[in-house]
Amino acid sequence: MNAEEMVQLCKRHTMYTWSSQAGVTPLPIARAEGIHFWTPDGKRYIDFNSQLMSVNVGHGHPKVREAIKRQVDELTFVFPGSATAPRARLGKLLSEIVPDPINTFFFTLGGAEANENAIRAARLYTGRHKIITRYRSYHGGTNATMQLTGDPRRWANEPGMPGIVRVMDPEPYTFSFGDDDATKTARNLEYLEEVLMYEGPQNVAAIFIESVTGTNGILPPPAGYLSGLRALCDRYGILLVTDEVMAGFGRTGKLLAFMHYDVVPDIVTMAKGLTSSYLPLGAMGVSDAIAKHFQDNVFWGGLTYNSHPMLLAAAEANIRVLLDEGMIDNAARLEPVVREEMERLTAKHPSVKGGRCIGLFGMMDLQKNSAGEPMAPYNATSPAMQALKEAFDDKGLFTFVRWGSFMCNPPLCITEAQLRQAYAIVDECLDVTDAYFEG
C-alpha cells in the first residue's frame, strides 16, 4: 500500500487519540529496525522517542520476534484461570528481578489497566478509599486513571471516579519549593503531611507517583524525596504505588526507576518497556503482605486477556534481551553522553534553556527570551515549536515536541555514534528556534 492510500484510509475509517480528527496528519510507517523506521516511500527516520517511550530494545529484535512466533505455534490463548508455561516463567522471572518484597504479579493489557488494578488492590487491602496523586503526572486514559492523571488530558474527562486528591509535585511548574534538593524535599513533604491532616490519613489508601515523571517533564525526584515519601506513607499506613509504565524496564539505566533511590514501593505498575511494545502488556506487582491478604480475600478484578500467553512470551524474551545484551547498562553508560550533548547545545543555542536526563530518559526545554520564558505556554504550542517539529520531520528525526519542550528517548540499543548523530540533527534544527529567540 502506498503512503497516500494508507493515510487516507486510516483517516477515513479509524480514530486517532487525543485529537480532533480533521487536524491529524498521521506519519505513514511501513517497517522498522533497531533505532530506525521507514515510510512506505523509503524515507528513514531515527526514532528518538522509541515511539511512545516504549520500544526499549529497539525495533524488530529477532529474539523477541522468534519468541512470539514460537508461542503462536505452541498456544495462543487460554482462559485466565489456567496455568501456562509463559505465565509460570514470566512470574518467576519478574519475582527474581524486581526487588523484594514484590514477588507477585497481575497481568493486564497496558499501563492504565495496571493502574486501575493498583487502585483496586490498594482499596481492598487497606479498606480506605482516597488516593493521592500529583499534578505533573499521567497515569492512563481510562476513567479512573484519567482522574489519577494531573495533566490537562484529564480536564475533558471530568468528573470521573471520586476519591482522588491531587497535590503539587516536588517540582511544580511555575514555582519552586526551594533552591536546593534538601529544601525542596523537606518543604514538599511538610506540605504533603498537611494535606494528609486535612484529608484524614485514615481515609487514604495510597499515594501514586511516577518514580521519574515522564510526559510531564522527565523529572527525577529531588534527593531524599522518595525515601521521605516512603517514611510518610509508613507513618500513616498508606501504600506507596510507583508507576513505572514509562520510566521502567531500563529507560533510566536501572530495571525500574525507583531502584535509583533505595526504596521499594508496596505496589509497582509497569507496561510499555515490559514487552518493548511488541505486544500490549501491563502488570501490577504487589508486596508479599498484599499478596498474602489476597490469599484469603477475593481480588475483585479480571480481564478476558489476563495472562495472555502470547503477551507473556513476548515479555519474557524482551526482558532477556534487555538483560543479556546489556541494554540497561547501555542506558546508564550513555547518560553522560546525553548530558554532554545537552550542555553543548545549551551553550550554543540561545533558544535552549536547558536539558535533563536520567539514563536515556531526557527532555530539552526551549525559551523565548533570556528571562527563561517557555517557547510555548503550558498546554499550548507556538509557531516556534511548530517550526521545530517540522524541522525534525524534514531531517528524519522522530520525537515528541510538547508545549515548550521536546523528548530525547531513543531505544536502549542505540550506540554512542548513533546518539551523537541524532544530537547533530537536533543541533541543526535548533537554528530554527534560535530565529524566534527575542533576546
Q: What residue type is assigned to position 209 of the chain?
A: I
Q: CB 363 → ligand PLP: shortest distance, Å? A: 13
- Asked if 209 touches ligand PLP (CB under 6 A), the answer is no
By beta carbon distance, the residue nearest ligand PLP is 111
Looking at 209-217, 335-343, 390-398, 411-419, which segment touches ligand PLP (CB under 6 A)? 209-217
150 and 166 Cβ atoms separated by less than 8 Å: yes
- Residue numbers 242-281 binding ligand PLP by CB under 6 A: 243, 245-246, 271
3-state DSSP assignment of residue 77: coil
Number of chain positions touching ligand PLP (CB under 6 A) = 15
**Which segment (110-118, 185-193, 226-234, 402-410) binds ligand PLP by CB under 6 A?**
110-118
Q: What's the closest the beta carbon of residue 62 comes to ligand PLP, in angstroms?
A: 25
Reference 302, options 94, 71, 116; nearest CA is: 116
The candidate with the shortest Cα–Cα distance to 400, out of 216, 147, 253, is: 216
Residue of the chain from 34, 58, 91, 111 that contacts ligand PLP (CB under 6 A): 111
Q: List C-alpha distances in Å: 26 to 12, 79, 383.
A: 12, 36, 20
Shortest distance (Å) from residue 214 CB to ligand PLP = 5
Nearest distance, CB of residue 210 and ligand PLP, angstroms:
5
**How far apart are CB 54 and ligand PLP at their closest, in Å?**
8
Q: Is the Cβ of residue 30 or residue 219 nearer to ligand PLP in the bound state?
A: 219
Q: How far is the CB of 4 from ligand PLP (least distance, A)?
A: 29
Measured distance CA(422)–CA(420) in Å, rounded: 5
Whole-angstrom distance, CA of residue 197 vs CA of residue 137: 23
**Residue 210 touches ligand PLP, criterion: CB under 6 A:** yes
Of the two residues 361 and 423, which places its CB atom closer to ligand PLP in the complex?
361
* Contacting ligand PLP within 373-392 (CB under 6 A): none
Instruction: Kindly calculate the radius of gyration of the chain based on its CA atoms and give it in whole angstroms.
Output: 22
Give me the torsion for CA of 96, 98, 101, 107, rounded to 10°: -100
- Nearest C-alpha neighbor of 161 from the set 143, 135, 141: 143
Show the site string, 120-159: x = touches ligand PLP by CB under 6 A, - = not. Answer: ------------------xxx-------------------
C-alpha cell at 103: 514477588
Q: What angle do CA 279, 405, 152 make, to 5 degrees?
A: 70
Residues 84, 29: Cα–Cα separation, whole Å: 35
Binding site for ligand PLP (CB under 6 A): 110-112, 115, 138-140, 210, 214-215, 243, 245-246, 271, 282
